[in-house]
Amino acid sequence: MTLPPVFTTLRQNATVLSTVGNRIYRHGDAPQNVTKPYITWFVVMGMPELQISGSPCSDKDTVQIDCWSENDSEVELLAYAVRSALDDAKITNRIVVNGRENETRLYRFGIEADIIRSRS
């Protein structure tokens, strides 16, 4: 089993790359005191694309990608760049979270994306 190519897909967008560099973290968790802004992501659901004639030939993974920043306008620009990267890769996506975390006071913009990957 392989994970969806979130890191490589996002880093293909120049704005994402220049804004967060390598600060794209799996499991929805970033290191404490990490430089802001940054991105976290996690797999929400993964399932095979079923077919009658045999074993599944692809998997559909739903991932959530969260953009984090201390600045409201910066988090929106980063989310726009993430969405552009997903659109360029022809990955369907939708906004699922847009708010501010009570504890950290960080702005958060969450996008859910459906990634279909071939098993061959």
Partner residues linked to 62 by β-bridges: 45, 114
Identify whether the C-beta of residue 74 lies closer than 8 Å to the C-beta of residue 37.
yes
Cβ–Cβ under 8 Å, residues 39 and 28? no
Model pTM? Answer: 0.91
Judge whether 15 lies within some domain. Answer: yes
CATH number for the domain spanning 79: value is: 3.30.2000.30
Domain assignment of residue 1, yes or no? no
Q: Can you give the pLDDT at residue 46?
A: 84
76 inside domain: yes
Given this model, what pLDDT does residue 59 score? Answer: 84
Contact status, residue 96 vs residue 114, Cβ threshold 8 Å: no
Helix (H) or strand (E) segment spanning residue 39: strand 38-48
Q: Which domain holds residue 97?
A: 6-118
pLDDT means over runs of 10, the chain (120 residues): 88 96 96 97 86 78 97 97 97 96 96 89
Helix boundaries (H) for 21-108: 72-88
In a domain, 101, yes or no: yes
